[in-house]
Structure formats: C-alpha cells, structure tokens
DNA sequence: CACTAATTGTTCTAATTAGAACTTTAAATT
DNA sequence: AATTTAAAGTTCTAATTAGAACAATTAGTG
C-alpha cells in the first residue's frame, strides 16, 4: 500500500507552519502575537462580538481565549462589556486605541499576506481552496463517524 | 481589491486544525501527545537519529524538542546516547519498549490516517500536494526576500 | 597552532493550546 | 413553578511553542 500520509500531510503541516511564521514576522513588529492580532482583525469593522462567536471565527477555544483577551485588555486594545440580553455573555469590542491600531495596520497586513498570491492565477486560487475544502470535509466526515462509534459504545 | 486572505488562508488554518484534532484523537488512546507520537514514528525503522535531524523531520524546534524527548525518556520509550563522532551531539533512539509500541501501533495509525483519502482519486492527491507545495514555495520565496531586506538595512 | 565563528543541545520565559472542573445564568422539561 | 439540562466564561493543569541567552564542542581562518 502506498501511503499518502508522510508526503501529502507533512506538506500540509510544513505549509501551515511556514505561513504562520511568515504572518507572525509581520505582526511581531506591532508587539502582538498572531492570535492577538487575529482578534483585532476579527473585531475590526464590527460593533463588538460575543465571546463565543469570537472563538469560532478565530478558531481559538474558550479556555485559551480568556488569556488572549485578557492580555489585549491589559494593552488597552480591547474591552469587555456584559451583554444586555444574556447574563452569561460578554461582548468584546475594540477600544479607541484598538480601533486606531486596526485602521493603521490592517491594510498593510492584508497587502503583506496577499503578496503570497502575486504569482497565482485565478484558477490556482480556486484549486487551492477546493483541495483544502475536500480534505477538510474528509476529516469532518470521519470525525463524525468516530463520534457515532463512541455513542454506540456508550449505549451498548 | 478582492482579498484572498480571509477565504483561502482561513481554510488552510481550519483544515490543519481539523486534521490535527483527528490525528490526536487516535494518539490520545496511547497516552501520548501528537508531537510525542510523531517522534516515535520518526524514530521507527531507524537506528537512532541525532537531535538536529529529528527536529527537522518533525518540524519541532530545538527548545521544544528537549522537553518532548525528556517526557518520552521518562516514559521509557526513548533513550539519549552521546554521539561518538561529535561531542556536542546526542543520538535519540527507541528503547525496546518504544520499538514495541511503534510496531504495535504504527500500522493501525497509518490506516486511520489514510482513511482520509478513501474517496480520493489519484489526481485528487496529486492536486492537493501540488497546491500545498505551490503555496509553501510562495511563502519561502517571500520570506527570503524579507530576509534580504533586513540584511540590507543592517549593512546600510 | 591560536583565534574566531558556527553548531549542538540545554535552560529560561512568555504565550498559546486543549481539556476538564467549576460557577453563573438561561433554556427546556415535567 | 420547580427541576433538570444546557450554555457562557473563568480557572487550572500539563504540554507545546518560539525565541533568546547560554555552555560546550567543533569547524574554519589567519
């Protein structure tokens, strides 16, 4: 059996790692970590987001999110407000300083990142996205199969 | 300007994360973390590898590697031997227990992972790998450009 | 050979990470 | 309405992560 594991999936890990370190190199100049800047970006052009949504958009789990938000709060870039409609929920929004940082740095960051695709044809972009989605869906599909197995075992 | 950043690259992050959590779900049953199991796999079928090579293959930086190896050593799965040819270098190899674990678990792990590609045609695999490599090379190319800039600044 | 530069691995720090236990509040059920 | 169940955030723990400083050794240079 020819194993696709070492070749294709290693390449996924390598590409991911390379991209993160590329993106981080830009963000570090702002004295922010990548997750921190990701929060800033995600909050930009919104009127604040509940904790939960913020975690879903940035792919940061809630236990981690508390720490990241706290550090941004310490830096004065973000603030927590209690939700008016749900007593459990916190709304995170950019402070004035945070919004100013967003406006000042986001366009340049976008250029920096999009430079990766300078030599891409439109088809290349489509292919990449399609290939990633195909793998993503395969993972999700198998993961839910595994989940069902566990449920079956519990019931049995 | 149409931004490729939020769509394609988010998909890279999501796919990567989904894959890791899928792989981790399997490895956790062995009471190992993914990086730890990655080391076991990488050492399997070798006669031991120097620290440096091990880090390159697993994409783990040296500061991190020390901790991961130490934990595997504590579990008795791996041992450190001083290199005979280089006084600075350590050779990491599987212990008997470690090798037994590798032999017992690796084939099943491979099956578990390769299941992701059950519905892939050969072209699908080739496309995925090509798309990832294209992005990877774009990152590397830009990263080295950035590096040159820094050198220029230092010289100027 | 002497000196400098580079490499190997360890140690340390600050941050992120997932997961679990926990508190508080909301929703659902009886 | 009372009770149970679920959801939102916080806190805690163990591990990973990158990066920087450091000691020991090797390689390269004059």
Pick out chain B residues at pLDDT < 50: 154-156
Residues of A whose CB is below 8 A from B9: 19, 113
Q: Do the Cβ atoms of B22 and A143 come within 8 Å?
A: yes
Q: Is the C-beta atom of A14 closer than 7 angstroms to strand D?
A: no
- The span from the CA of B35 to the CA of A107, in Å, is 36
Report chain A residues whose CB lies below 8 A from the CB of B138. 116-120
Which two tokens mark B127? 């496309």
What's the pLDDT score for residue A7?
85
**Spatial separation of the C-alpha atoms in residues A69 and A77, rounded to whole Å:** 9
The answer to whether the C-beta of B61 is closer than 7 A to strand D is yes
The residues pairing with A91 across neighbouring beta strands, listed in sequence order, are A50, A81
Predicted pLDDT of residue B156: 39
Residue A156 has pLDDT above 80, yes or no: no
pLDDT, position B143: 84
For C11, nearest residue by CA–C1' is B63
CB contact set of B38 (below 8 Å; sequence gap of 6+) = B58, B60
B25-32 LR contacts (CB < 8 Å, sep 24+)? B25/A143, B25/A146, B26/B109, B26/B112, B26/B113, B27/B109, B30/B101, B30/B105
Q: Domain limits of chain A?
A: 5-119, 120-156
- pLDDT, tens digit, for every residue of B22-67? 999 999 999 999 999 999 999 998 999 999 999 999 999 999 999 9
Residue A150: its pLDDT value, please? Answer: 52
What pLDDT digit, counting tens, does each position of A42-99 carry? 999 899 999 999 999 999 999 999 999 999 999 999 999 998 899 899 999 999 999 9
In tens, the pLDDT along A5-21 reads 668 999 999 999 999 99
∠ CA B139-B144-B147, rounded to 5°: 130
- CATH number (1.10.3720.10, 1.10.10.10, 2.40.10.220, 3.30.70.260) of B5-119 reads 1.10.10.10
Measured between CA atoms, how close is A15 to chain B, in angstroms?
Answer: 5
What pLDDT sits at residue B154?
Answer: 47
Which pLDDT value is given to residue A3?
62
Enumerate the residues of chain A whose CB falls inside 8 A of the CB of residue B135. 15, 19, 116, 128
Select the residue from B2, B3, B4, B44 to test the A interface by mutation, using most A Cβ atoms within 10 A: B4
Interface A-B: count of C-beta contacts within 8 A: 135
């Amino acid at each position: 059996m020819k194993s696709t594991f070492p070749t294709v999936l290693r390449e996924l890990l390598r590409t991911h790692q390379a991209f993160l370190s590329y993106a981080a190199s830009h963000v570090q100049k702002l004295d922010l970590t990548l997750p921190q800047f990701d929060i800033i970006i995600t909050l930009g052009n919104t009127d604040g987001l509940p904790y939960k949504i913020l975690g879903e958009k940035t792919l940061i789990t809630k236990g981690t999110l508390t720490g990241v938000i706290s550090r941004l709060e310490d830096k004065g870039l973000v603030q927590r407000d209690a939700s008016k409609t749900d007593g459990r929920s916190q709304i995170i929004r950019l402070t004035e300083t945070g919004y100013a940082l967003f406006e000042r740095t986001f366009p340049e960051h976008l250029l920096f990142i999009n430079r990766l695709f300078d030599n891409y044809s439109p088809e290349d972009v489509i292919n990449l996205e399609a290939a990633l989605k195909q793998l993503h869906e395969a993972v999700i599909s198998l993961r839910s199969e595994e989940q069902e197995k566990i449920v079956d075992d519990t019931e049995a």
